Structure 1
Amino acid sequence: MHLAALGWSPEQLIARINEVRRRRGTAALHPKSAYKWVQGHRPSAAVSADIVTVLRAHRGVRLTPADLGWDTPAQRSHAFDDPYTVSAGELLLASQGDDMERRRFVLLTGSSVTACALDLLLPGMDGLRPALDGDRVSTTLLADIEASVRRSRELDDTEGSRPALLWAGGLWRLLGQIVTRCSYGDAEGRHLHRLYIEMSETYGWMLFDAAQHARAQRVYLTGLRVAREASTDPALQHATANLLASTAYQESWLGHHTEAATLIAIASTRTSGALPSRVGAVIAQREITIAGRRGDVDAVQRASARAHDLLDNARLGDQPWWSQWLTPAAVNGATGRAWLALRNPDQAAAYLAQRATTATSAYPRDRLLALCDLATARLHAGDPVAACEPLDHALDLTKTVDSPRVTAYLHEVVTQLRDTRCRHTQARDVMMKATELTRT
């Protein structure tokens, strides 16, 4: 209310509070600190006094902390409730128990999602410190951890999210314990922090794919908080860019287009040097889908061309292992998906047909998604019979791929086919197969 009356943004309030604090020699507050107060969190007594001082001076009215609702006992909040207001260490400690499994989270929107990412644009800070008296992290242990992180991603790629979800969550929590409880040197620390960020991307993606969206957000944001406070090197920055791209993709899937656009822009600009070609292509591939969902035709075309150019120029070696999945056909799949979102089913179908036939057995979920997209494009183009073939293949894939997100999408497409009341034999067979799979 007071900010609106003054026409101030939260950052403008902080700037004036910091003027007061600077005059008395007190450390400045973080530029984003006021967002948590707007969202209902209460500042400390000293900070609330500064806020009252500034508001009194500029509004010309008598105010007390009670007028701002800060005279009642403070309520404890959990670290995961607002990841921006706590340190990476606090989030890591919160993730190590069962609370992540038991708690019911709500989806975050707006600055609650983007603030942790925007902090990455500020000068680096080394906030994470090893436990000097903890067990030592050896290079052999790091190699074993890296193998486990890679295996988590392979399981998700080949089987879908649900079969390995519990195992991946355990590995993510265990990695948090190693970061906070073990001792390690600078080189081992950089390696360990990178692995934690990579595991946050994989586990967050698995939760997203399992339709556990609020929990996925907390995992993504924890990874971003660690990236903010970890000692940085190029490999860690590249992993962070990938984490941002996946976070942006989830926000786009949920319809949070402003947040998605902010996150994908940070992924492109945050690194201090040039991105490896494949990393840039991964970001561009995500940007294609995000631009299509928000209705930006020009951005779709630019991102698609950029992704293809980057893949064409990618050299062997010095490309992150997690970027190897991306192919020109996968870029075409994202482009077709974008044209589908832009309500141009004919143009979408040309891209999606190619993607559906070229997706390899190593990525069956991607093929399942492409088949659903192709069937949707053909339905929207008014050809339900042509939609039956990709739907039939998609139903077969559900026997081996356990992806709640894509399976729910498949059922939506089957419902669309049913609503056309097509009497063709192929349509009846597809709907019968879908009914049988639902029963089993």
Structure 2
Amino acid sequence: MPRRPDAVITPNTRLRGARRRLPSPVRTGQCLSRTELADAANRALDCLYPGRDLTVHYVDFRWIGKLERGEHRWPSEERRAALRHVLDAPTDTELGLYSPRRTDSTLTGANEHHHQALPDPLAELLPTGDLLQLVTATAGRRVGHTTVSDLAARVHRLRLADDILAGGDLIRPAFRELRAATKFYRETSHTEAVGRGLLIQIGELAQITGWIASDAGHLHLAERAYNLGASAARQAGDATLAANLLGSLAYQHANTGREREGVELARAALDEAGHDAPAEARALSFDRLAWAHARADESQRAMRALGEAHESLLHSRDGEAPLWAYWVSQDELDVMDARVFTELRRPLRALPLLSKVLDRYDATHAREVALYLSWLAVAYADANEPEAAASAAARMFDLSDELPSARISQRASVVVQRMMRFGDVPEARALLADRRADWQRESD
């Protein structure tokens, strides 16, 4: 029996053509890639719907690919508006968008707004409302300290998974864990001490979940997770954990065009933690403040904060640091030093630090190694060493091309932009040619 005509999947050549007619904002002579269209659509959502949380409507290059292949035909009204805005199309029809369940009027130019939107895969990741409000004082079965220990183990396993997997691989299981933990807290009964323990673990889980969401490019989801975690930590009276969540959000702001907010929030995180916080926690807070200052082009303040981070770590005592700070070490402080030096265009101070850390860094942590190589490549480029920069960049791309990480994508763009001024150097020219070929395959 033949399939219904509206069930046949056919490529959306109109949308693909509209994208390919626009130039890439960073790659001279190239068309707009799927990743660049997704980024532009997400920015358009924020501009078109100010004051609304459009997180569930954010898209990535995979979603654009499905749209172009015809696997999706009728996105949400908000997404269609964003695509029309970016691609300068007056109607949905010009972009090949229509509802298979509608009449032919949709196909002939009517711009229907009353529709049944396709389900969004991220829509239920983090519900709205007060997720920490107990249902009743005696709700559900009673739980004890063993439950807190079990949850703590699950949270730490997620942290360890983040060491070796990228945000795009972990975002769904991370948010499932966070939703389950908040639901469990609300719907069970427990003593005050057990409730405090559960809140602390929810705070820690929210921090790693926010970090994963940020790495996957879902910034609004990340911000919501961080704020939820900070609320949980404050209810539990854990100022150090609350500061870690604020600092995580400050770091995100500093990296996404909100540098001044990043500085202010990083300072607030330090104030919230206080002088009695464990050495590793204070060192991490100072490092995030240093990075925010560097991104705001405040070099002297950035350098002072780096010094405070190292001074704080000197006071480390065994057994005092919280488990979530397990990765804070002298090597990690050196990496942040190098990143700040590179951001401030002081490559000769950055290069020895990055080279030393990369020589002994765990190769299974592919995303982090790739990120550090991106800083190494930029530092070499700024030091006018294009051959070494091309070598570091090639290693970065080899490690990271299959990683679903927004941070990796952003750093890759920075590296390519830095390498473009060395187009007359054979190594750099070959690297850029390889990247153009990769982008062409993505665009196709």
TM range (shorter): 0.5 to 0.7
Q: Which residue of structure 1 lines up, in the alignment, with residue 236 of structure 2? A: 231
Post-superposition offset of 1:436:
6.4
Residue range with higher mean Cα deviation, 135-144 or 203-212: 135-144
Q: Which residue of structure 2 lines up, in the alignment, with residue 212 of structure 1? A: 218
**TM-score of the superposition, structure 1-length normalised?**
0.66
In the alignment, is residue 196 of structure 1 matched against residue 202 of structure 2? yes
Q: How does 1:22-421 map to 2 (within 5 A)?
A: 101-102=122-123, 131-228=137-234, 230-232=235-237, 236-271=238-273, 274-361=276-363, 363-398=365-400, 401-421=403-423
* Distance of 1:100 and 1:237 partners within structure 2: 34
* Distance of 1:133 and 1:79 partners within structure 2: 33
Q: Which amino acid aligns with 1:181?
A: E
Q: Which residue of structure 1 lines up, in the alignment, with residue 88 of structure 2? A: none
Q: What are the superposed Cα offsets for residues 202-237 of structure 1, whole Å, 9 maximum, x if unpaired?
A: 011111111111221111122223334x131xxx22
Q: How many residues align?
A: 325
In structure 2, relative to structure 1, the CA distance for the partners of 1:103 and 1:129 (3 Å cut) is closer
Q: Which residue of structure 1 lines up, in the alignment, with residue 431 of structure 2? A: 430
Asked if 1 retains the 8 angstrom alpha-carbon contact of 2:290 and 2:306, the reply is yes
Post-superposition offset of 1:362:
5.2
* Distance of 1:168 and 1:262 partners within structure 2: 28
Asked if 1 retains the 8 angstrom alpha-carbon contact of 2:250 and 2:266, the reply is yes
**TM-score of the superposition, structure 2-length normalised?**
0.66
* Distance of 1:158 and 1:367 partners within structure 2: 10
In structure 2, relative to structure 1, the CA distance for the partners of 1:250 and 1:423 (3 Å cut) is same
* Distance of 2:256 and 2:211 partners within structure 1: 14
Q: What are the superposed Cα offsets for residues 344-373 of structure 1, whole Å, 9 maximum, x if unpaired?
A: 333333433333334323533222111101
Asked if 2 retains the 8 angstrom alpha-carbon contact of 1:131 and 1:181, the reply is no
Superposition RMSD in Å:
3.1
> Is the partner of 1:275 in helix, strand or coil?
coil
Q: What are the superposed Cα offsets for residues 104-142 of structure 1, whole Å, 9 maximum, x if unpaired?
A: 99xxxxxxxxxxxxxxxxxxxx98686412222222222
Asked if 2 retains the 8 angstrom alpha-carbon contact of 1:217 and 1:247, the reply is yes
Residue range with higher mean Cα deviation, 323-332 or 349-358: 349-358
Task: In structure 2, list runs of 5 or more residues that go unmatched.
Answer: 1-49, 57-118, 127-131
Q: Which residue of structure 1 lines up, in the alignment, with residue 77 of structure 2? A: none
Identity of aligned residues (%): 26
* Distance of 2:325 and 2:269 partners within structure 1: 15
Asked if 1 retains the 8 angstrom alpha-carbon contact of 2:182 and 2:202, the reply is yes
Q: How does 1:8-23 map to 2 (within 5 A)?
A: none
Post-superposition offset of 1:189:
0.9
* Distance of 2:278 and 2:135 partners within structure 1: 29
Q: Which amino acid aligns with 1:101?
A: L
